[in-house]
Amino acid sequence: MRISKLFIDRQVVDHPLTQSIQARLDVPAIIVQSAQKVHEMVASAPDPIQSGKEILYLSRNQCAFFKRCPGTRHYTCCDYRILHIGTFCYMDCAYCILQTYFHPPVLEYFVNHEDLIAELDTVFSQKSIFRIGTGEFTDSLIWTLWTDVAKLLVDRFAAQEHAVLELKTKTTAIEQLQNLNHNRKTITAWSLNTPKIIRTEERGTAGLSARIDAAARCEKWGYPLAFHFDPLIIYDGCERAYIRVIETLFSRLSAENMVWISLGTLRFPPPVKAVIQKRFPDSRIVYAEFIRGSDGKMRYFKPLRIDLYRKIIACIREHAPDVIVYLCMEDDEVWQKTLGFTPADVGGLSHMLDMSAAKHCHLNLDAIPESATTRTARGLDFTAKGGKIQGHAGPRSLRVKPGAKHPVWNTQSKCPSAIR
């Protein structure tokens, strides 16, 4: 990866992390009063998106580091929290919505780690379960080229017992994770796809074998694992190709060490189509049949999504009947027809994932008040006695101690025979 220009906001010129990053980059620094000059330079380039991938802007995060996942009320969201360490990515995936999410997009890193740590300490003091990720607005591990942020976060999470950190990546940049006392509070996660999609639509990313090799190394170092098949892309032969990926995955890694696997099909805001057509003229992914979903994004027709999910879930269940599988941004109908239940049946998706994190990452549920484990999702209140909201009976508490059997595992292993 190549950084052609380094911009530094005047506010952080003397910050120790700024100086450390400067020392690692052999690029002259340009001091700016604000982001405006950076954005003007990127916007004036022939390909602003590519230009933004080659410019690094160091600044101070003036807003909160800790944010909610930007889900939508129309589909079930996993309700994890975002740790906003930076923006954009130097890799170049055709389908990436960050191409139109930031205006213009630019690699921006927030150096005020002292504020990040202060926010985390406040979160940890709340005595509630949190699943926290850094891979929503960027790739979690690209910043390890210039910073020690992965070590900082892994060490911080290891010292508490109520939250897990998920580092999601398409790279193999795991060196900083070696020899850390992570205490199983950090989940190393990879976005996976078929070799064809990686080759044609995910420029600059690590290959499939390299990603799985990196995951195997992290497993050897004691880290829990997670995998995200998102976006699943429909093309001739895709079903068999995804099954081969799953078979390879379970031939190399232990299913017992996987905290969760998520599935989500290709979806994108309408403006992304023109960007893909211009920047990826050989790509065919936007020429399938799509329908506008309830969230305004373009999606495959529901029967096509259900059919692909069914076949992939059946393969996963064959190799790993107890691994938690969930759907990203789908409605109850799709859940019922593919997994055999809806999130509400098991206390909500958020609760389901919290309990899997507790089991695999050894979270201390005994120290958390019952009221703090209450989860609300899709209008349902999950309390010890079960609640009633909007006329629906809530399930009894699904709290379990790490290592204990959770009702959701029984539910997920009882998929309809047609999809097993």
Burial 140-172 (b: 16+ CB within 10 A, else e): bbbbbebbebbbbbbbbbbebbbbbbbbbbbbb
Reported as a single tens digit per residue, the pLDDT across 341-366 is: 999 999 999 999 999 999 999 999 88
Whole-number average pLDDT of the chain: 88
Q: Please report which confidence band the pLDDT of residue 373 belongs to, taking 50, 70 and 90 as the band edges.
A: very low
Average pLDDT over residues 142-157: 97
How many other CB atoms sit within 10 Å of the CB of residue 18? 22
Query: Which tokens belong to 247?
Result: 């078979």
The whole-angstrom separation of Cα 367 and Cα 364 is 6
Task: Give the dihedral sign, CA 297/299/302/308.
Answer: negative
Reported as a single tens digit per residue, the pLDDT across 93-121 is: 999 999 998 878 899 999 999 999 999 99
Where exactly are the structural domains of the chain? 61-419
Query: Which tokens belong to 291?
Result: 């329908």
Domain 61-419: which CATH class? alpha beta
Reported as a single tens digit per residue, the pLDDT across 208-255 is: 999 999 999 999 999 999 999 999 999 999 999 999 999 999 999 999
Reported as a single tens digit per residue, the pLDDT across 32-75 is: 999 999 999 999 999 999 999 999 999 999 999 998 887 777 88
Q: Please report which confidence band the pLDDT of residue 26 belongs to, taking 50, 70 and 90 as the band edges.
A: confident
Query: Which tokens belong to 217?
Result: 């190394």
Inter-CA distances, 105 with 79, 377, 392, Å = 25, 32, 44
> In sequence order, what are the beta bridge partners of 9?
32
Average pLDDT over residues 297-325: 97
Provide CB contacts within 8 A for 396, sequence distance 6+: 384, 385, 386
The whole-angstrom separation of Cα 287 and Cα 22 is 43
The whole-angstrom separation of Cα 387 and Cα 396 is 8
Residue 412, pLDDT score: 52
More confident: 96 or 405? 96
What element of type H or E holds 70? none
